[in-house]
Amino acid sequence: MERLRPEPPALYLDAQGNIPQFESVRQARAELRVGGSAQAATDAGLYAEAVGGLVFGDSRDGQDPRRFLTHPAASGTHALTLGARLLAQLPPTRRVYLPTPSWSNHQRIFEEAGLTVGHYPYFDAYARQLDVDALVGFLCRLPGPAVIVLQASCHNPTGSDLTRDQWDVIADVVKALGHIPFIDMAYQGLGDTLQDDNYGVTAMADRGVFTLVAQSCSKIFQLSEARCGSLSAYCPSADQAQPIQRAMQSWTRMDTAPASLGVVARILSQPGLRKLWQSELDGMRDRVGQVRAALHKTLCRLSPAWDWSYLTHQRGFFSYDPALHPAEDAPQAPGLPDRRIVSASGRLGISLITERNLPDVAHAIAGASAP
Ligand SMILES: Cc1ncc(COP(=O)(O)O)c(C=O)c1O
C-alpha cells in the first residue's frame, strides 16, 4: 500500500473532467501545417520577441531593447535549469533562497547546478496566508547579496500571492541590498490578467534591478504534452547584458528548439488567434475561481467550525491547508475520484476538481478537518 498520498499534479481538468486542448492551439497547429509562413513562425527570434512581450509587458516601452533578453526553453523546468546554470557562473553569489514551502523541484534544480540552497519564510501555516513581514525581515537580515526565488502568481503550492504593494516593498529591499530576484512564472494570466500577473517583473525592471525570469507556456497554452518556456533576463545596462547574451547564444547551439515554439509564436503574433487564446485562458481562470467558490460553499456547510475563507482568497491550481489531517494510510475514501486531490501535507489540487467529483472531494476534505 502507498505510504503517503502523492502531491496533486499541476494539471487542469475542465468541467467534464478532461484535459482541454485550446482551440487557439489547434488552429495555430493547423495553420503551421499548411502555410508557407511556417518557417517564419518557427523562428526562435519571433518566439523570443513574442514571449518576451508577455514576460516584460510594458516595462520595455521606451527602453533600450538590448537590456531585455529572452531565450527559448523546452519547458519552465528547463528555463529554471538554464537560469541556475547562469547563476552558477555569475559573481557575486552562489546562495539561493526558496520560499517555504515551494514547488517540489526547485531545490533539486538549484542544487544540481552547484548552488547552495536556503529557505525564507513565506507562508504562515497557522493563519493560512502569506507572511510578508517575515519574508522582508529575512531578506533584510541576510549577510550579503543572494538569489531570491519568487513566484509571479498562483504560488505553487500555497495559492497565496504577493499584492502589488508587497511586490513594491520587496523590490525596494532587493534593490537596496543587491539581491538577485529569480522569478518563476508558470501561471501568468491564471491568477489575474497577464498584465497583473507580471507585476513583480515590472516592479524589478522599473527599479533597474537585474532580474531573471523562468517562464512556462505549458499551463497557459495547455501544452502539457509538448511543453515550452523561456528564460528572460532584465539587465540594468547593455554592458551587463553582454555576457548573458553570449551564454544564451551558446545554448542555442546546444539545445533543440521546443516543438511548440512555432505554435506559441503564431498565437501571440496573430491578433485573431491571440484574442481567442486570451479568452480561453480567461475561461480557465474563471472556472478555477468558480470551483473555489463552490468548494468553499460546500465546506462551510459540511464543516462550519473550520475557517475555509482561504479557498476563495488563494489563486490558481493549488490551495494549502497544513492544519488538515487526512489519514496517511487510510484506504481511498469511497467515491473520491483521485487521491492526489488531497495530499497528506494538506495540499489541495483545486484544478483537478470538477462539478461531478466536488461532493466527494468536499467530504474527503471535511473529513480531514474533523477533530
Ligand atoms: C511553480 C512552477 N514552476 C515551474 C513549473 C514547470 O513548468 P513546466 O511544466 O513547463 O516544466 C511548474 C509546473 O508545475 C510550477 O508549478
At 59 the three-state DSSP class reads: helix
pLDDT of residue 176: 97
State whether 260 and 242 are in the same domain. yes
- Counting atoms of ligand 1 from 1, which one is nearest the CA of 106? 3
Q: Is residue 29 part of a domain?
A: no
User: What pLDDT does 143 receive?
Assistant: 93
The CA distance from 344 to 296, in Å, is 20
Whether 4 maps to a domain, the answer reads no
Q: What would the grid cell of residue 218 be? A: 505549458
CA of 80 to the centre of ligand 1 (A): 9
Q: What is the DSSP string of 80-148?
A: HHHHHHHHHHSSS--EEEEEES--TTHHHHHHHTT-EEEEEE-EETTTTEE-HHHHHHHHHH-SS--EE
For residue 80, the ligand 1 atom closest to its alpha carbon is: 4
**Residue 229 sits in the same domain as residue 111:** yes
In a domain, 18, yes or no: no
Name which of 145, 143, 149 is nearest 113 in CA terms.
149
- Pairing state of beta strands 180-185 and 211-216? parallel
Single-letter code of the amino acid located at 52: G
Residue to substitute in 108, 156, 260 for testing ligand 1 pocket (most ligand atoms within 8 angstroms of CB): 156
Does one domain contain both 98 and 247? yes
* CATH for 203: 3.40.640.10
Say yes or no: CB of residue 77 within 6 Å of ligand 1.
yes
Any atom of ligand 1 within 6 Å of the Cβ of 218: yes
Dist. CA 104 → ligand 1 center (Å): 10
Task: Give the structural domain span for 159.
Answer: 36-270
Render the burial of 169-208: b for 16+ CB within 10 Å, e for the rest.
bbbebbbeeebbbbbbbbbbbbbeebeebbbbbbbbbeee
Q: Is 215 in the pocket of ligand 1 (CB under 6 A)?
A: no
What is the pLDDT at residue 4? 43
Q: Is the CB of 234 under 6 A from ligand 1?
A: no
Q: Which atom of ligand 1 is nearest to the CA of 317?
A: 16
- Determine, yes or no, domain membership for 7: no
Decide if 204 is inside a domain. Answer: yes
pLDDT one-digit tens code per residue, 94-129 = 999 999 999 999 999 999 999 999 999 999 988 889
Ligand 1 centroid to residue 124 C-alpha, Å: 23
- What is the tens place of the pLDDT at every residue in 236-287? 999 999 999 999 999 887 777 788 899 999 999 999 999 999 999 999 999 9
Last residue of some domain: 270, 301, 329?
270
235 occurs within a structural domain: yes
How many helices and strands (H and E) does the chain possess? Answer: 14, 11
Q: Is 343 in the pocket of ligand 1 (CB under 6 A)?
A: no
CA-nearest of 24, 13, 14, 18 to 278 is 24
Is 24 close to ligand 1, i.e. is its CB under 6 Å away? no
Residue 157: asked if its preceding bond is cis (omega within 30°), the reply is yes
How confident is the model at residue 58, as a pLDDT?
A: 87
Same domain, 282 and 265: no
CA of 76 to the centre of ligand 1 (A): 5
Bridge partner residues of 117 (DSSP)? 96
Q: Is 260 in the pocket of ligand 1 (CB under 6 A)?
A: no
Q: Is the CB of 287 under 6 A from ligand 1?
A: no
Distance 344 CA to ligand 1 centre (A): 21
H-helix or E-strand containing 234? strand 229-234
C-alpha count within 13 angstroms, C-beta hemisphere, residue 111: 9
Per-residue pLDDT at 317: 95
358 plus 224 within the same structural domain: no
* Residue whose cell numbers read 523541484: 105
Same domain, 217 and 142: yes
72 and 182 both lie in a single domain: yes
Within the chain, which residues score under 50 in pLDDT? 1-4, 40, 331
Look at the chain and report how many structural domains it folds into: 2
What is the C-alpha R_g of the chain? 21
Please say which residue of 270, 295, 326 terminates a domain: 270
Instruction: Note whether 231 and 306 are same-domain residues.
Output: no
In a domain, 67, yes or no: yes
The answer on 133 and 111 residing in a single domain is yes
In angstroms, rounded to a whole number, what is the distance separating the alpha carbons of residues 153 and 163? Answer: 10
**CATH number of the domain enclosing 357:** 3.90.1150.10
Choose one of 214, 248, 270: the last residue of a domain: 270
Q: What is the pLDDT of residue 236?
A: 96
pTM comes to 0.94
